[in-house]
Chain A
């Protein structure tokens, strides 16, 4: 048997086998499935309307009970329903924003790495400049001036600011693959630039892109939570995991703990699961089959 080359991506079967052999990966995938299904089908599972305020006098700040498993908030809204509906928004925002940044990062990095020369130098210096701007501050600055921020705008802007590091990785990988003999061989057989980039180079760069996607979703969930908590993210009354927590004032955290605890747990579990999944994918896609 001849050894696989260093850059070969293992077959789909191998990847699946390696993922399933990794217990934390299985746990993460199971957890994510449960969370995604619960949130996606929120109208089926949520016991109440997440925005309705049935009894703002007697129904507010109720602790968890059989009627309200996660309690109610200061407006008498059911926290469980809000967490489920909030997850719907937070997860879809994270997925779409990540898709935007993955696409941009891959395209930019691939073009820079493949073009080489002056084009690459200019593109990479622009990237250096972009990377030197703290993302969180930019997002706060943009969103703070924005009344009535729509989720779509939020997604696009978060996506537009999240692709820099991936494009660096992709550029490095493309540079390495570009020097491979099969690329020269494809050119020698008449393949043009576009074909070489899309067909011969990019499929060999999928590993870091997939890993970055998994980790990126977790990262955007955290980012949304942070921004919404600061009041510059997704706007109430539509719940998101971040703005549910925002409803809790600092003095309340100790007494009305369920307001912060349940959405907080949702965020932690989801982000953790995405991070574990990202690491597991990195290992499973590892061509040499090295396990750590």
Chain B
């Protein structure tokens, strides 16, 4: 593999709140290669958004990136570079697309203004240059009649258009990396597909790497080449996308797959993973998934599983890697045995 563009090494982001420390991201490592799309999947509260914000160093107190964490990007450690360098990287080399396109746009400025602003923060060109580039960028994102649309305010555009505006803002400086945090969650299904297609198109055009953060495995399947599955602030499984869909190893990933509704398979109720993500102030000992896991045994309580190498470029944080025969004998998970409502 090429030299990675982004390399997150042992990232710990903790929130130091009054009664307890929330270990939202607790030792996460992964890399993103140039031009690649890496997907990060997981439920709400698993630490995927905090990971994204950590990369751009947008964590606000009481949150803090802990010592020992490294985020290497283009030869710099983003954890330690000074603020001016970081501001220069944001929007220019790494940019971010937020989930909710309405609230991510400033209601009192025209969308063209907001796209142009990014160019003006990072460029030396005139106001007019920036505006022209913004209109060009809006055209590239498939907004019809971009000159007129650029003068409109966010509330005058549809949800899909607004997301296109955010994409234009994120890509106007042709950054090396775009972090997309649930970019399609707030959109209709049909619009979702268009937006994803647009992202993939623009990625090819600009050679950008994408870090696609989502809870939707469908989005991963359509865009990502490699996937990192996160649970309780940790990476629990990493594989390329085909391997993951064909042969998920970690029971949590398996659960996520089962929870996806299948076409042509009528069913009264959707499958769910029993229980819910524990609070980040109080991760379970041993394996953090064991209480929700249908295979958990004593070892899972005693020993926090390391990332086992399953095959080349496939790792899983599950003790099943050393006792695979146990997969044949699932049992009701602990949360169900205790009568905790699913």
List the A residue with the shortest CB-CB distance to B121: A190
- The interface-forming segment of A7-15, A24-32, A139-147, A269-277 is A7-15
Kindly list chain B residues whose C-beta atoms are within 8 Å of the C-beta of A203. 106, 108-109
Kindly list chain A residues whose C-beta atoms are within 8 Å of the C-beta of B30. none
For residues 81 through 135 of chain B, which have their beta carbon under 8 Å from a beta carbon of chain A? 87-92, 95-96, 98, 100, 102-109, 117-118, 121-122
List the B residue with the shortest CB-CB distance to A178: B60
Task: Please give the distance in Å from A11's CB to the nearest CB on chain B.
Answer: 7
Asked if A190 and B92 make an inter-chain contact with CB atoms under 8 angstroms apart, the answer reads: yes
Asked if A189 and B108 make an inter-chain contact with CB atoms under 8 angstroms apart, the answer reads: no
Which of A182, A189, A200 makes the CB contact (< 8 A) with B118?
A189
For residues 170 through 213 of chain A, which have their beta carbon under 8 Å from a beta carbon of chain B? 180-182, 184-192, 195, 199-200, 203-204
A189 touching B169 in the complex, CB below 8 Å, given contacts A2-B159, A8-B155: yes
List the B residue with the shortest CB-CB distance to A188: B96
A189 touching B105 in the complex, CB below 8 Å, given contacts A2-B159, A181-B100: no
List the B residue with the shortest CB-CB distance to A187: B58
Kindly list chain B residues whose C-beta atoms are within 8 Å of the C-beta of A5. 102-103, 107, 154-155
Asked if A188 and B56 make an inter-chain contact with CB atoms under 8 angstroms apart, the answer reads: yes
Task: Please give the distance in Å from B135's CB to the nearest CB on chain A.
Answer: 18
> What is the total number of residues of chain A having a CB less than 8 Å from a CB of chain B?
25
List the A residue with the shortest CB-CB distance to B122: A190
State in angstroms the CA–CA spacing of A195 and B118 once bound together.
11
- Indicate the member of B56, B108, B154, B155 with the most A CB atoms within 10 Å: B108
List the B residue with the shortest CB-CB distance to A186: B106
B158 within 8 A of A: yes
Asked if B169 and A182 make an inter-chain contact with CB atoms under 8 angstroms apart, the answer reads: no
- Indicate the member of A9, A186, A188, A204 with the most B CB atoms within 10 Å: A188
Which of A2, A9, A11, A185 makes the CB contact (< 8 A) with B104?
A185
Which of B89, B92, B155, B158 makes the CB contact (< 8 A) with A4?
B155
Q: Hey, what's the 0/1 contact readout for B158-175 against A, CB within 8 Å counting as 1? A: 110000001001100000
Task: Please give the distance in Å from A285's CB to the nearest CB on chain B.
Answer: 12
Asked if A185 and B155 make an inter-chain contact with CB atoms under 8 angstroms apart, the answer reads: no
Task: Please give the distance in Å from A254's CB to the nearest CB on chain B.
Answer: 55
B153 within 8 A of A: yes
Kindly list chain B residues whose C-beta atoms are within 8 Å of the C-beta of A200. 106
A190 touching B87 in the complex, CB below 8 Å, given contacts A2-B159, A204-B106: yes
Kindly list chain A residues whose C-beta atoms are within 8 Å of the C-beta of B107. 4-5, 7-9, 182, 204
Kindly list chain A residues whose C-beta atoms are within 8 Å of the C-beta of B109. 199, 203
Kindly list chain A residues whose C-beta atoms are within 8 Å of the C-beta of B153. 8, 11
A192 touching B96 in the complex, CB below 8 Å, given contacts A5-B107, A180-B103, A181-B104: no
Kindly list chain A residues whose C-beta atoms are within 8 Å of the C-beta of B56. 188
A190 touching B108 in the complex, CB below 8 Å, given contacts A180-B103, A181-B100, A195-B121: no
Asked if A9 and B100 make an inter-chain contact with CB atoms under 8 angstroms apart, the answer reads: no
A190 touching B98 in the complex, CB below 8 Å, given contacts A4-B155, A181-B103, A182-B106: no
Give 16 CB contacts A-B under 8 Å: A5-B103, A7-B107, A182-B104, A182-B106, A184-B98, A186-B117, A188-B58, A188-B91, A189-B90, A190-B88, A190-B91, A191-B91, A192-B121, A199-B109, A204-B106, A204-B108
Kindly list chain A residues whose C-beta atoms are within 8 Å of the C-beta of B96. 185, 188-189
Kindly list chain B residues whose C-beta atoms are within 8 Å of the C-beta of A181. 98, 100, 103-104
State in angstroms the CA–CA spacing of A204 and B105 once bound together.
12
Other than the given A189-B118, A190-B118, 15 more pairs (CB < 8 A) read A11-B153, A180-B103, A181-B98, A182-B103, A182-B104, A185-B96, A185-B98, A185-B166, A189-B117, A190-B89, A190-B92, A191-B117, A199-B117, A200-B106, A204-B107
Asked if A189 and B121 make an inter-chain contact with CB atoms under 8 angstroms apart, the answer reads: yes
State in angstroms the CA–CA spacing of A117 and B60 once bound together.
12
Task: Please give the distance in Å from B150's CB to the nearest CB on chain A.
Answer: 16
Asked if B95 and A188 make an inter-chain contact with CB atoms under 8 angstroms apart, the answer reads: yes
Task: Please give the distance in Å from B83's CB to the nearest CB on chain A.
Answer: 9
For residues 60 through 93 of chain B, which have their beta carbon under 8 Å from a beta carbon of chain A? 61, 87-92
State in angstroms the CA–CA spacing of A191 and B106 once bound together.
13
State in angstroms the CA–CA spacing of A189 and B158 once bound together.
22
Asked if A189 and B170 make an inter-chain contact with CB atoms under 8 angstroms apart, the answer reads: yes
State in angstroms the CA–CA spacing of A203 and B110 once bound together.
13
Task: Please give the distance in Å from B86's CB to the nearest CB on chain A.
Answer: 9
Kindly list chain A residues whose C-beta atoms are within 8 Å of the C-beta of B89. 190
Q: Hey, what's the 0/1 contact readout for B18-45 against A, CB within 8 Å counting as 1? A: 0000000000000000000000000000
List the B residue with the shortest CB-CB distance to A3: B155
Asked if A2 and B106 make an inter-chain contact with CB atoms under 8 angstroms apart, the answer reads: no
Asked if B121 and A191 make an inter-chain contact with CB atoms under 8 angstroms apart, the answer reads: yes
State in angstroms the CA–CA spacing of A182 and B101 once bound together.
9
